[in-house]
Amino acid sequence: MGKILVTSFTLLVSLIFTIGESRVNYNGYKVLRINATQNRAFNALKNLFIQDEMDFWSPPSRVAPTDILVSPIRVRPFRTFLDTIGAPYEILIDNVDYEIEYERLNYLASSELRTSEMNWEAYQRLETIHGWMDSLAEKYPSMVSVFHVGNSTEGRPLKVLKISTGEARADKPAVWLDGGIHARVTYIANELITQATRYRNQRLTDAYDWYINPVMNPDGYEYTQVDRLWRKTRSGPRPVLGGFLGWCRGVDPNRNWDFQWAGKGTSRNPCSQIYHGPNAASEPEVQAIQEFVLERKDQIKLFLTFHSYSQILLLPWGYDEVRTDDHDDLMRVGTKAIKTLESVHGTKYTAGNTAEILYAAAGGSHDWAKGAAGIKFAYCYELRDTGNRGFVLPADQIIPSGEETFAAVQSMAEDILEYIKPEEEQTTVPVDGAVTEAGQKLYQKPL
């Protein structure tokens, strides 16, 4: 009898584990795009946002659409609620699972044509990305090196790629780039190497050390194989009201940095998508990157972090509607960069202070880079698109998005060189005139 009970218990645990790790199904989930320009509608949505009642893909705004993911059981009452508060809306994505499944089937259908080598025709697994980084260091040992800067909660390595040519010196300026689920960051790394090796164009790798962390949240990235829309880390689980309301995993890594932590646009609820964590830099991923950047804070002149979506270039500060003292300098470089970006495929971006054009979000990495590390030029790119596909951007947009983003990054790097010259040689960064000069100067058609 005891043996039967033990066997039954083992089977039950196995079943629970299997169910817990099976692919999350979003069949029937819809994304509604809401116009909240009227005070009544805006205030009602803001209350929902604060209470963590819904999954907001974009926060309440009077000047931009608000996108919300709605489960099948809540679609009808939520639409009634929107009618009641007088908020016009449209169905942006009719069935989210269809978009996810379409992406997955395309990936599987093309698997026979692909090898395990890195490519930009699909979103790659972490193992492929890390293997590609290591292979670059082996192939180009004088140009590329890989740093293992720490481990995630679940023990996955955090790797940073360094690309540099020319003279090696301690005071050589540097650029930092990081991403999460965005293949565009690895695309930029690949283009830097291609420019330097195939086209013999080493201007930017001679001028800068490039530090690139393609996957800052490796646990969350891998967990998207189970839940395609997962955005947090995988730490925990943590109790809600002492466990009375359950337990939830993860922290929003872009609310966890040690600058203005736990402020506006964050949540103390462990189940929230914007949970700021139990304390600043509680996540080992954030701790490791903070330490790595701080060791090089005098060297790093440009800090770029890549997210999705909205097609916006965000400037500090994000913690509140406050501008930095050098806001105009950042806007000059940023405005020229997004014009250069637009020249590649016609994609339009907006640039501005995070809290002013999007929403307040404390504890973000570009705020930390500016406020804690003292890096003058710190930005956050919210990449394609503007919501039509949202967080399930098709893989066929990786390359065009990478091409235009690479041109924008080159523009920034070129312009910032003017700021870091000796004082007597410094010049003002141009805004008008040759809009795409910096990008076109170095940009080659990718292979």
Active site residues: 382
CA dist 445 and 447 (Å) reads 7
Q: Which residues pair with 9 in a beta bridge?
A: none
HSE, CB side, 13 Å, CA atoms: give it for residue 127: 1
**Cis peptide bond N-terminal to 141, omega within 30:** no
HSE, CB side, 13 Å, CA atoms: give it for residue 256: 27
Q: H/E element holding 96?
A: helix 96-109
Question: Residue 229 is encoded by which pair of tokens?
Answer: 């829309």
CB atoms within 10 A of CB 320: 17
3-state secondary structure labels for all residues of 189-240: HHHHHHHHHCCCCCHHHHHCEEEEECCCCHHHHHHCCCCCCCCCCCCCCEEC
Question: Residue 105 is encoded by which pair of tokens?
Answer: 């089937």
Burial per residue of 246-262, b for 16 or more beta-carbon CB atoms within 10 angstroms, e otherwise: eebbbbbbbbbbbbbbb
Residue pair 362/275 in contact (Cβ under 8 Å)? The answer is: no
Question: Residue 82 is encoded by which pair of tokens?
Answer: 């929107």
Give the residue from 139, 143, 104 showing the smallest Cα distance to 125.
104
CA-CA distances (angstroms) from residue 172 to 134, 146, 188, 204, 266?
24, 18, 20, 12, 36
Give the residue from 175, 114, 119, 99 showing the smallest Cα distance to 399.
119
Question: Residue 431 is encoded by which pair of tokens?
Answer: 């805004």
CA dist 429 and 339 (Å) reads 14
CB atoms within 10 A of CB 347: 21
Residue at 387: amino acid letter? G
SS3 350: strand
Question: Residue 131 is encoded by which pair of tokens?
Answer: 């293997």
